[in-house]
C-alpha cells in the first residue's frame, strides 16, 4: 500500500554516504557527485529531516552531519559473526518495513533484512515503530519450523532470551523481559519484537522475527514514541562502558538468535523457561493486561510450559496467550 507523504531517498543516499564521515563538504563537491547545481543540492538536503538526519550548514564550509553516521555494512557484520550458519544478509538504506519485506518473500527462511531507515516500521498491535536513519537497529530474520503454530508458541519468549544474552555481552546487565517479549532496561523499553507467520499453520511454517533495538536514538527523533524508552549507547555510557557500533550489535544479536533458533527447534521452550523467568519483569507484581478492548487486573505469576501468561485474578489463575495482548505494571 503506498504510504502517505513517503519521500524517496533515491540519489540523496549518495550524498548521505559522503556526509556520513561527519566532515564538512561543499555544495559544489556534492553537486558534482550527482551532476546537479548547488541550489539543487540544498533542496535535496532539505529532505534529510524526513529521514531523521541532522544537518548543519556553515557559509564558506558547506554541509556536515554532526557526529557523522554509524552506517551498517554487510562485510563488517559478516566478519564479526561467529556463527557459521548459512544466512542471506541484505541491507537497505530505506524500506517500508523489514518484516513486510521478508513476509513478501517466497522463502524467507535464513534471510536477514536490515534497514537504515523504515518509513512504515510496524510494532505489535498495529502500532508504528519509530525508525530514524542510522540511529537504531531495525532488522528481520526468517526461519522455517515444522509443527505449525503449536511449535512456535514459545518462540516469542526464546527470542527475548536471545536479545537479553546479546545485550549482556554488550555490557548491559539487568535487562528485563516483559511478557511476551519486550526488552526493558530500568523499566524503559529498549527493544521490541514482532513475530509474524506464513505457511501451513499445522505443518511447515515460516516465521519472520522482526527486532527493533534502540541503539543511539536521539530525543529529537523519538517524539512519536508514546512510552518511556531507553537506548543502548546512552545506557552503556551511564555505566562508563564503551560505545557499541550498530554493526557490532547486529552481529551479536544475530549470533545469539541463530544459536537459540537452532536449539529451540530441538529443545523447545522448556530449556529456556528458567532463564526467561529469572529476567522476567513484574514478577509477583500487580499488572494490567489489555486483551483486545478488555482490561484485566491481576498478579503476574509467570508463564506456562508453552509460554502463555499466568495471571492471578481474584485468587484464581487465568491463562493468556500472546498475539494482541499487552501487559503493563501497576506498581
Interface residue list for ligand BTN (CB under 6 A): 97-99, 118, 121-124, 127, 129, 138-140, 182, 192-194, 210-212
CA–CA dist 199, 220 (Å, integer): 40
Would you state the torsion angle of the CA atoms of residues 121, 102, 263, 138, taken in this order, to the nearest 10 degrees?
-30
Tell me whether residue 165 is one of the annotated catalytic residues: no
Q: Minimum CB separation from ligand BTN for residue 58, in Å? A: 35
Rg (CA), the chain: 21
Tell me whether residue 316 is one of the annotated catalytic residues: no
Toward ligand BTN, which CB reaches closer, 44 or 122?
A: 122
Angle at 95 between CA 324 and CA 159, to 5 degrees: 40
Toward ligand BTN, which CB reaches closer, 123 or 199?
A: 123
Toward ligand BTN, which CB reaches closer, 224 or 242?
A: 224
Toward ligand BTN, which CB reaches closer, 94 or 140?
A: 140
Toward ligand BTN, which CB reaches closer, 138 or 320?
A: 138
Number of helices and strands (H, E) in the chain?
11, 14
Toward ligand BTN, which CB reaches closer, 154 or 192?
A: 192
Q: Minimum CB separation from ligand BTN for residue 130, in Å? A: 9
Toward ligand BTN, which CB reaches closer, 9 or 41?
A: 9
- The H or E element containing residue 67 is none
Q: What is the DSSP string of 229-256?
A: B--HHHHHHHTTPPP--HHHHHHHHHHH
**If 0-12 CB within 10 Å is exposed, 13-18 middle and 19+ buried, where does residue 81 land?**
middle
Q: Minimum CB separation from ligand BTN for residue 257, in Å? A: 13
Q: Minimum CB separation from ligand BTN for residue 137, in Å? A: 8
CA–CA dist 159, 261 (Å, integer): 8
Taking the chain, what is the end-to-end CA distance rounded to the nearest angstrom? 41
Q: Minimum CB separation from ligand BTN for residue 55, in Å? A: 25
Tell me whether residue 124 is one of the annotated catalytic residues: yes
Alpha-carbon distances, residue 148 vs 45, 127, 200, 246, 294 (angstroms): 48, 26, 6, 33, 28
Q: Which of 122, 124, 165, 178 is catalytic?
A: 124
Question: Considering only CA atoms, which of 38, 65, 61 is closest in space to residue 51?
Answer: 65
Q: Are 229 and 191 in contact (CB under 8 A)?
A: no
Q: Minimum CB separation from ligand BTN for residue 76, in Å? A: 20
Question: Considering only CA atoms, which of 173, 213, 187 is closest in space to residue 282?
Answer: 187
Q: Which of 47, 189, 290, 310 is catalytic?
A: 189
The residue number with the shortest CB distance to ligand BTN is 192
Q: Minimum CB separation from ligand BTN for residue 12, in Å? A: 22
Q: Beta-carbon neighbour count of residue 227 at 10 Å?
A: 9
Q: Which residues are known to be catalytic?
A: 124, 189, 328
Amino acid at each position: 500500500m503506498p504510504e502517505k507523504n513517503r519521500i524517496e531517498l533515491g540519489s540523496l543516499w549518495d550524498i548521505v554516504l559522503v556526509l556520513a564521515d561527519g566532515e564538512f563538504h561543499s555544495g559544489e563537491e556534492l553537486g558534482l557527485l550527482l551532476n546537479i547545481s548547488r541550489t539543487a543540492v540544498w533542496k535535496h538536503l532539505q529532505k534529510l529531516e524526513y529521514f531523521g538526519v541532522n544537518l548543519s550548514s556553515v557559509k564558506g564550509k558547506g554541509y556536515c552531519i554532526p557526529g557523522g553516521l554509524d552506517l551498517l555494512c554487510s562485510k563488517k557484520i559478516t566478519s564479526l559473526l561467529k556463527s557459521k550458519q548459512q544466512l542471506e544478509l541484505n541491507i537497505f538504506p530505506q524500506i517500508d518495513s523489514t518484516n513486510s519485506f521478508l513476509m513478501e518473500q517466497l522463502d524467507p527462511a535464513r534471510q536477514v533484512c536490515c534497514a537504515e531507515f523504515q518509513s512504515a516500521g510496524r510494532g505489535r498491535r498495529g502500532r508504528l515503530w519509530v525508525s530514524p536513519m542510522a540511529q537504531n537497529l531495525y532488522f528481520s530474520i526468517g526461519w522455517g519450523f515444522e509443527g505449525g503454530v503449536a511449535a512456535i508458541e514459545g518462540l516469542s519468549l526464546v527470542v527475548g532470551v536471545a536479545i537479553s544474552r546479546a545485550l549482556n555481552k554488550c555490557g548491559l546487565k539487568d535487562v528485563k523481559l516483559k511478557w511476551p517479549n519486550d526488552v526493558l532496561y530500568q523499566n524503559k523499553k529498549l527493544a521490541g519484537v514482532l513475530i509474524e507467520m506464513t505457511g501451513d499453520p499445522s505443518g511447515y511454517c515460516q516465521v519472520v522475527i522482526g527486532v527493533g533495538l534502540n541503539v543511539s536514538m536521539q530525543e529529537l527523533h523519538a517524539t512519536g514514541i508514546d512510552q518511556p524508552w531507553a537506548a543502548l549507547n546512552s545506557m552503556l555510557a551511564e555505566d562508563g562502558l564503551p560505545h557499541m557500533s550498530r554493526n557490532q550489535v547486529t552481529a551479536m544479536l544475530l549470533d545469539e538468535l541463530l544459536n537459540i533458533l537452532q536449539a529451540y527447534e530441538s529443545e523447545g521452550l522448556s530449556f529456556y523457561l528458567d532463564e526467561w523467568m529469572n529476567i522476567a519483569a513484574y514478577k509477583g507484581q500487580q499488572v494490567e493486561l489489555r486483551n483486545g478492548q478488555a482490561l484485566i487486573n491481576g498478579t503476574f505469576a509467570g508463564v506456562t510450559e508453552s509460554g502463555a501468561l499466568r495471571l492471578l485474578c481474584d485468587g484464581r489463575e487465568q491463562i493468556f496467550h500472546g498475539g494482541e495482548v499487552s501487559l503493563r505494571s501497576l506498581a
